[in-house]
Amino acid sequence: MPSLNKVLLMGNLTRDPELRYTASGAAVCEFGLAVNRKWTGKDGKSGEEVLFVDVTVWGKSGQAASEHLNKGSPVFIEGRLKLDTWESPQGKRSKISVEGESCQFLPNKAVPDSTGPVQDGALDVADDEIPF
């Protein structure tokens, strides 16, 4: 049976990226990402939820993320889900994170111009539309 492990996330960093290197010299960058979802219910009331995701980006993409991103920066991540498991005094633990394969930096703020769409390459998308 075929399988697919693909994740596309767009959000803002919750903390500054942390860059380190493995014993073999490979760069690895870790940061937190907040992904917001807004909606309006049938009753007209709006709601919002925030999902916090840990992201790891390797190699040159990780180095670039460390150099150019900081807390609050908007970013688009393409990657895969990763499951880590370990033993703790409280028992077996696990955590799902994202292993980033591609990291695109987005403009910090979109400024609409009077003649058309949003400038600086930002996406002009309704809350319930997926921009892909």
Residue 108 has what pLDDT? 79
For 26-85, the DSSP string reads -EEEEEEEEEEEEEE-TTS-EEEEEEEEEEEEEHHHHHHHHHH--TT-EEEEEEEEEEEE
Q: 54 is written with which tokens?
A: 């840990």
What is the spatial distance between Cα 23 and Cα 7, in angstroms, rounded to a whole number? 28
**Position 125 confidence tier, pLDDT thresholds 50, 70, 90:** very low
User: What are 57-87's pLDDT values in tens digits?
Assistant: 999 999 999 999 999 999 999 999 999 999 9
The C-alpha atoms of residue 42 and residue 116 are separated, in whole angstroms, by: 31
- Over residues 8-55, the pLDDT tens digits come to 999 999 999 999 999 999 999 999 999 999 999 999 999 999 999 999
Phi, psi of 64 (to 5 degrees): -65, -40
The whole-angstrom separation of Cα 23 and Cα 32 is 24
Residue 90's SS3 state is coil
Q: pTM score, two decimals?
A: 0.76
Identify the structural domains of the chain with CATH numbers, from first to last: 7-105 (2.40.50.140)
